[in-house]
Structure 1
Amino acid sequence: MKILLTAINSKFIHSNLAVRYLKAFTDDLSYECSIREFSINDREEKILEEIIKEKPNVVAFSTYIWNIEMITRLSNLIKMVDKNIEILYGGPEVSYDSFNILKELNGDYIIQGEGEKTYREFVEYKLGEKKLESIRGLYFKKCNDVIFNGNRPLMNMDEIVFPYKEDENLDNKIVYYEASRGCPFNCKYCLSSTTHGVRFLDIERVKKELQFFIDKKVRLVKFVDRTFNCNFKFSTAIWEFLINSDTKTQFHFEISADILKPQELEILRKAPKDRFQFEVGVQTTNDDVLRQINRFVNFSDIKEKVLELLAIKNIKQHLDLIAGLPGEDYKSFKKSFNDVYSIGPEEIQLGFLKLLRGSSMREEAELYDMKYSPYPPYEILSTKDISYDELLVLKKVEHMVDKYYNSQKFNNVIKFFIDKFETPFDFFLSLGEFFEMKDYFNRNIGNSEYYKVFLEFNEKVLKSDNSILRDIIKYDYLTFNKRRGMPEFLESRMTKEEEIEIKNKLREYYSFKENYIESFCIDIKEFINNNTIINKNTYYLFGYNGGSVEITDKIS
């Protein structure tokens, strides 16, 4: 008897934790079990071919909002090819309203909620060791009816089996890890609010398992814990362990910034640069809206702690906002964006409310006149506070923020523009409207064109001269791109004779097999540090492998 645990991830670099948990929890049982991981970018015909080639008796799908539609189609295709293959579903997208979902899906079973024990008993049933009707947490079809065996109690965290194997190739993968389950908060839009309490793994066990990732030189470990720092003793012990570890592995945590204690900040101050990444759910800076969604915190408290973390300058911070929350109109969201932008985090994620199956927000949709798509990912279309057209405007801003601000590759270009607008929001909106006017949203544009857009934008929208801007763009471009292939609109002003003369002065300091020279018409350092434009010829040495250094003084 063979079961194929099948994951369809949102990106190739992602790995699926759920299917690994299930396999690890049943490794001692005498059945054949394989894991296959695909991406939503793979062709369905190819995924189907690979599944059928495995010759499984059961295909088990891990379902989420981003893959359920593809899984639905694949299930239909699998049954067309071989109606004897049974299909088992699990995951958050089928764990709520499971009765009706299984009626609609072309499959045979659904595991509701936490799956390890239910899956193990399912395997025992397939091996003839257990009766189907005795498996709690399982929905199944029988004579065109859907039967449910009742809810299963949450398991003890000590029973979870570490899901990664020594011989598993984790190169170039984002590895997901779970040190706790549950969340102490009750946010209406989140599925974590449907279960109460937080369960933790033993601290010493967590350290041992993190050492496994360190020894394998994993690039990035993302903790899926909903609020990692909700237990002071737990979070400080893990952070101290990772700070003192000899590793280049990065660790990503979702935290609640407002509950960070002074002792935690002191510990984090010692972290090597880029060892940690923090994701902070701000959602809105409107305190009234925060209370409406059961987030009993003030933005001022979040801001205070985020600024303290930024002052440490060693931890990358990613701040989340959600558009479409009840009580927040367009004007309020614009203020929320500007408030978060003023903090200066490395990334701002401008997301849109999704009314997930099982969330209390979906149950209250009529109260706030919420219209949302009935299709995954169930994104908000309008509320009594914000219209569909206004949400479309915010999507333009989101696109610009993600491409330009979050990449951190255009920081000086953005700095050049931002003060020319009343607020940061107005700048990103104006840029988004320019993109739309040029039809850039509807076609692929090359890397260099993303830089050239700013010259067009400055000329057409601000009616300004491009001479200074061109050099700022060139500096940002060369900081992140190779000189070879540099677009014509950024070509150097230096003559060949001037370049030779400068090289002759610098040969005793630098190798020009590894470096090249570029000239600028403004004092770049002054602009970067003080946002001041001073007309002055400056020269920089850029390495072919990255890095730059000012050489103006050496050649004067």
Structure 2
Amino acid sequence: MNTDILLVTLNSSYAHSSFGLRYLYANLKELQERAQIVEYTTARSPRDIVESLLSKKPKIIGLGVYIWNADESLEVVSLLKKVSPETIVVLGGSEVSHESESQKICQTADFTIKGEADFLFYEFCHGYLNLGVLPEKKFISGPLPDIKTIASPYAYYTEEDIKNRVIYVEVSRGCPYRCEYCLSSLDKSVRNFDVTTFLADMQTLLDRGTRQFKFIDRTFNLSPTTCTQILQFFLDRIHLGLFLHFEMVPDRLPTEIRDLIKQFPAGSLQFEIGIQTWNTEVAKLVSRRNDFEKVKDNFRFLSTETGVHTHADLIVGLPGEDLPSFARGFDILSEVGPDEIQVGILKRLKGAPIARHDKEWEMVYADQPPFQILRTKTMNFETLQKMNRFAKFWDLYANSGNFKTLVTTLKERSQTRDDKSFFWEFFAFSEYLSARHSQYFGISLMSLFESAMAYLTEGLQWPAEQARDLILTDYRATGKIDLPKFLRLGDEDVKRKSSPEGDLQRSSLPKRQQRHLGKLETQTS
């Protein structure tokens, strides 16, 4: 069956769904019946993707381009224009909304829509398909759409999406802050959808079986009134076994929000909280505003009085930040109790104002996606390479929840150091792992356990039995039964039945959150 309009993107994995494509489809009006959403992953061969697309005989292909699929998207567009030059290719998405004219993919495609395309894409398709008219300019832009008139995308999540994929939702667009490393710093204001209409859409998703919601609002708790209204809506339905993810402003948790979130079951809420740096001078340089005392108080509240799963972000490579400064920030953050610390490497997002620091702070970025920082005036290439590995090993060991006993032990051991730094304690572990593994991707869980055992016995000179007992605690917590050779003493080959992992409420949560729930149960027992 021929389809005149294909709405296409390459997701990073099958579990992700494209929120943007569903918005475009929802706002195609009378052209909807001539359109289809088609999603692939970046692992799919560009040739296979092009073959699949052209088999539907489209007249227009709208392609969403983002930092995670930029290279693959360029290959797809290049192939499309070589084998089917008559097919009109229109680009959109954050990666092509800025510095567009200089990008090869934009030069190769027929047109690029810059910014929010909810209405602009419809106008393009209507002009071409109904009137036979194409825009005179290759790059298309227009005013921001009136948010109250944008058609809702939620009906276009399929049953397969609801069952198997992340369901993204939003109640606002924009951000009032001006953090220079983020594209949201270009927003002029925050625009809000009608809350009553939004909650009606959420009820429909619930009725269809949705149990996990990921809010993409940059500052969900900016308005306490809206925040509490939405939290109360989900709290009233929490018995369904829900999991909700929000991005929160770290120093903004007034009493009315605190009182609500204390009522949610452990693990049902996840807050992503951007700290980025604890260095006040660096924060000032990149226009990041945080009341650090309030941030500390809020984290302590979340850790000790709620069951919220907290995910805090730090960025390596900001202008003016050196490694000792980052280490101090990491140590402060680890003390206030987030469940996960996401160590990210600075990326140069096209259009982000952080580019103004390039000369003064000697900021050099990679030319290929994800455009990570390579060196700065205060962090050389070698240091940033080490921090790339630190970030990966921290995620594999600490954030995964698979090594809670080991990580707790390393944190306790750090207090015997002269500097009492958990960062430098884990950094030493990371350096050992870097020497042991030629690459830090694709390491099996079994190899991670074996490397941890080796570090305790070789790196820290622990007695083998003491090291084995510690690692065995974490190994058993994963539910594994057979002992691998490196965990056996003599001829021992113990088998132990794993217990069922949690109740129905826990089993509905993402696996990583399930593994972290042990901490919450310990606190409340």
Q: TM-score, normalised to structure 2's length?
A: 0.89
Identify the residue that residue 486 of structure 2 maps to in structure 1: 489
Identify the residue that residue 37 of structure 1 maps to in structure 2: 39
Q: 1:444 to 1:370 in 2, by over 3 A?
A: closer
SS at match of 2:153: coil
Identify the residue that residue 79 of structure 1 maps to in structure 2: 81
Give the Cα separation in 1 of the matches to 2:171 and 2:219.
Answer: 11
Identify the residue that residue 470 of structure 1 maps to in structure 2: 468
Identify the residue that residue 185 of structure 2 maps to in structure 1: 193
* Corresponding position: 1:179 with 2:171: yes
* Corresponding position: 1:361 with 2:367: no
User: Which amino acid in 1 is paired with 2:483?
Assistant: M
| C-alpha contact 2:319 2:376 (8 A) present in aligned 1 | yes
> Can you give the 5+ residue segments of structure 1 that lack an aligned partner in the other structure?
141-147, 500-515, 518-541, 550-556
Give the Cα separation in 1 of the matches to 2:105 and 2:168.
Answer: 32
SS at match of 1:252: strand
- Offset, 1:165: 2.6
| C-alpha contact 1:221 1:250 (8 A) present in aligned 2 | yes
More displaced stretch, 466-475 vs 90-99? 466-475
| Equivalent of residue 341 in structure 2, options 336, 348, 355 | 348
Write 1 or 2 for the structure with the bigger share of strand: 1
Identify the residue that residue 309 of structure 1 maps to in structure 2: 302
Identify the residue that residue 126 of structure 1 maps to in structure 2: 128
SS at match of 1:358: coil
Identify the residue that residue 512 of structure 2 maps to in structure 1: none
More displaced stretch, 414-423 vs 395-404? 414-423
Identify the residue that residue 244 of structure 1 maps to in structure 2: 236
Give the Cα separation in 2 of the matches to 1:87 and 1:486.
Answer: 55
SS at match of 1:302: helix
Q: 1:130 to 1:238 in 2, by over 3 A?
A: farther
Give the Cα separation in 2 of the matches to 1:110 and 1:495.
Answer: 64
Give the Cα separation in 1 of the matches to 2:211 and 2:487.
Answer: 34
- Equivalence map 1:312-351=2 (5 Å): 312-351=305-344
- Offset, 1:547: 6.4
Larger Rg: 1
Give the Cα separation in 1 of the matches to 2:383 and 2:406.
Answer: 27
Identify the residue that residue 22 of structure 1 maps to in structure 2: 24
Give the Cα separation in 2 of the matches to 1:333 and 1:211.
Answer: 43
More displaced stretch, 253-262 vs 429-438? 429-438
Write 1 or 2 for the structure with the bigger share of helix: 2
- Equivalence map 1:263-282=2 (5 Å): 263-282=256-275
Q: 1:493 to 1:158 in 2, by over 3 A?
A: farther
Identify the residue that residue 61 of structure 2 maps to in structure 1: 59
Q: CA RMSD in A?
A: 2.4
Give the Cα separation in 1 of the matches to 2:405 and 2:69.
Answer: 38
Give the Cα separation in 2 of the matches to 1:27 and 1:444.
Answer: 45
Give the Cα separation in 2 of the matches to 1:106 and 1:547.
Answer: 52
Q: 1:85 to 1:242 in 2, by over 3 A?
A: same
Deviations 1:441-481 (A, max 9, x none): 26744322211212211111111202123122212211113
Q: 1:222 to 1:103 in 2, by over 3 A?
A: closer
| C-alpha contact 1:6 1:59 (8 A) present in aligned 2 | yes
Q: 1:476 to 1:44 in 2, by over 3 A?
A: same
* Corresponding position: 1:391 with 2:384: yes
SS at match of 1:116: coil
Q: 1:76 to 1:165 in 2, by over 3 A?
A: same
* Corresponding position: 1:253 with 2:254: no
| C-alpha contact 1:217 1:248 (8 A) present in aligned 2 | no
- Offset, 1:66: 1.1
User: Which amino acid in 2 is paired with 1:169?
Assistant: E
- Offset, 1:281: 0.3
- Offset, 1:212: 2.4
Give the Cα separation in 2 of the matches to 1:433 and 1:99.
Answer: 42
Give the Cα separation in 1 of the matches to 2:440 and 2:256.
Answer: 50
| C-alpha contact 1:479 1:547 (8 A) present in aligned 2 | no
Give the Cα separation in 2 of the matches to 1:341 and 1:266.
Answer: 25
SS at match of 1:225: coil
Give the Cα separation in 2 of the matches to 1:103 and 1:49.
Answer: 19
* Corresponding position: 1:426 with 2:428: no
Identify the residue that residue 545 of structure 1 maps to in structure 2: 500
User: Which amino acid in 2 is paired with 1:218?
Assistant: T
Q: 1:40 to 1:110 in 2, by over 3 A?
A: same
SS at match of 1:258: coil
Higher relative contact order (CA 8 A, sep 6+): 2
Give the Cα separation in 1 of the matches to 2:130 and 2:498.
Answer: 66
Identify the residue that residue 160 of structure 2 maps to in structure 1: 169
* Corresponding position: 1:223 with 2:178: no
Deviations 1:65-85 (A, max 9, x none): 111111111111112221111
| C-alpha contact 1:186 1:294 (8 A) present in aligned 2 | yes
SS at match of 2:119: helix
Q: 1:547 to 1:260 in 2, by over 3 A?
A: closer
| Equivalent of residue 4 in structure 2, options 2, 6, 9 | 2
- Offset, 1:413: 1.6
User: Which amino acid in 2 is paired with 1:22?
Assistant: L
| Equivalent of residue 160 in structure 1, options 150, 154, 160 | 150
- Offset, 1:31: 5.4
SS at match of 1:161: coil
SS at match of 1:393: helix
| C-alpha contact 2:224 2:256 (8 A) present in aligned 1 | no
Identify the residue that residue 539 of structure 1 maps to in structure 2: none
User: Which amino acid in 2 is paired with 1:188?
Assistant: E
Query: Percent of aligned pairs with the same residue?
Result: 30
Identify the residue that residue 446 of structure 2 maps to in structure 1: 448
Deviations 1:362-406 (A, max 9, x none): 233223221112322221111112111111121221111100000
- Offset, 1:130: 7.6
Q: 1:490 to 1:197 in 2, by over 3 A?
A: same
Q: TM-score, normalised to structure 1's length?
A: 0.84
Count matched residues.
494
Give the Cα separation in 2 of the matches to 1:177 and 1:493.
Answer: 55
User: Which amino acid in 2 is paired with 1:407?
Assistant: S
User: Which amino acid in 1 is paired with 2:412?
Assistant: D
Give the Cα separation in 1 of the matches to 2:436 and 2:343.
Answer: 23
